[in-house]
Structure 1
């Protein structure tokens, strides 16, 4: 059964062009090594190293930076201990009106008091600004480092400027060490996120300036981000990358089963790029009228204190 599943996953008819087998890739010329799937196995143990390094980075680098920028953890309001409400909270953090009324009757509490308890309890579980800053700084540092490495090592590669060379003699192309290290590092980084995906709060690099209350810097970074996104995702990606994979590969090596899947996924990704740029444009338009970058529609709702809610309620009553 296992051999059947393995043969199905690594089907030569699916992954390789016509008349090419896995055995052909094993017979490389002397001094030349072709890429193999087994070369990526080291990414998983390396992901553990990356995850541990991240913990040290956030503790020894990110938190001191947060202190320098006066980004503090903040003091959260604590709820009144209540076993019944805590047990219910573990199963449902935002109860509906019917459940709230039932809990109110069981505890002989005012309905608004029960609502306030759940609101404050949810606020306790929200990550602090310092936590979000540390996570953002880690991602910013990794992405910056890997980008600089890629540019430094691959800038002079001939296929960067002539994409047709990506397909000559495919898949019989020698493995280049700098490219190998780049892909393994990227894969290890994203594997490491598997360990922390349930606790991470995704933030962009511009969020660092936002957390530090540097509004002008935040606005400038947003403008830069918009320009870079437009150039890379709506110009370079479709007219340089997709064009090469879709047309040049067809001309040089011809289509095969994996070719259709790869191009289909790339086209889906391009549709997402258009949609994301639409959201970015909406934010930019709002910022023009408000004078600063408005709240990102893609971000989660930030915590709201009871005082703000009660204040708004009082204003409405008046």
Structure 2
């Protein structure tokens, strides 16, 4: 048995008693085919191109029209010694390094400290860049969420999740759901591809874990014909994402009151959808009512990873609401940008940019 044949053995992917013959296509019946997912590669490239066009032709003019502006930042004087240390050894030198650099550059220590502070400020992502990123994600999540609702609204298994498993795995794939799957997979692949160029935040590692888990779940659930369940999970996740991106946009526009109101709505939707609805549809119906086999066990592991991330982010959201919005405290939050003088995502949604 070759690797490919062993990898796709029906005993791993399908419940006991089912084989790939049960999912054989006919003229009027289509089942998920793993090769369909290869379309996500050009799909991700198309989304990256669409994003670049959107940010330049829609988000950038919109941001300017709404009054989004970048704060002027002091430019540092060129200094090869200090620049070399900054690039190669670190952006925040220790006290002994500052003294050594001051001697090498023939500058006072205070001026060296100021140079590094201004140099770090130059590298911080600008407000307009953040606004454009948030606008693109808002447009996608808004479109995907309401498109998903439109696709699922008349499906009986959307309202009664037990129907998801009737006659499984012999559930023909509706073309619209197949394209929805490809769109979501393409989007998350595009997010992974653009991670090095996007604004980095302190939960950067958690975001990578989230994207990998999401891509794995989309791939595996499609190949195992768990598309009904998968689409419901994706719609539940999209329910709060576009609200968060809208809150970010409002913050960058400095509409503080509206921003805080929208963020509170996001917090309620996030906690309900991720901590109540998500566990209900996954663990109750999927884990307790479904016969286990290899792929189901793998899916359960990644679902639990997502749930742990949901709990982690819910804690940060609640902390932000209590400490920043309700009490008005000025404190950093774990979703702040990597740069030390930028405010956190949480504080960003309640305070003005530094």
Give the alignment's TM-score, normalised by structure 1.
0.86
The match for 2:105 is 107
Unpaired runs of 5+ in structure 2? 202-243, 343-354
The match for 1:88 is 85
1:3-60 C-alpha deviation (Å, 9 max, x unpaired): 53x34543433222223333543x2344101111111111110111111111111111
The match for 2:172 is 174
The answer to whether the aligner puts 1:285 opposite 2:319 as a matched pair is no
Q: What's the CA shift for 1:284?
A: 1.6
SS in 2 for 1:42: helix
Contact persistence 2:120–2:339 (CA under 8 A): no
The match for 1:196 is 194
Contact persistence 1:34–1:173 (CA under 8 A): yes
The match for 1:310 is none
Q: What's the CA shift for 1:304?
A: 4.5
SS in 1 for 2:305: helix
Q: Which residue among 43, 46, 54 is the counterpart of 2:51?
A: 54
Contact persistence 1:63–1:130 (CA under 8 A): yes
Distance verdict in 2 for CA 1:262–1:304, change over 3 Å = closer
1:265-315 C-alpha deviation (Å, 9 max, x unpaired): 22332233223222211112122222x99765422266749xxxxxxxxxx
Largest Rg, 1 or 2: 1
Q: What's the CA shift for 1:151?
A: 0.8
The match for 1:161 is 159
Distance verdict in 2 for CA 1:100–1:293, change over 3 Å = closer
Point out which structure has higher relative CO (alpha carbons under 8 A, 6+ apart).
1
Distance verdict in 2 for CA 1:93–1:295, change over 3 Å = closer
Contact persistence 1:209–1:217 (CA under 8 A): yes
Contact persistence 1:126–1:303 (CA under 8 A): no
Distance 1:282 1:147 in 2: 27
Distance 2:271 2:41 in 1: 33
Contact persistence 2:70–2:127 (CA under 8 A): yes
SS in 1 for 2:67: coil
The match for 1:17 is 15
Unpaired runs of 5+ in structure 1? 306-318
State how many pairs are aligned. 297
Distance verdict in 2 for CA 1:295–1:218, change over 3 Å = farther
Contact persistence 2:200–2:337 (CA under 8 A): no
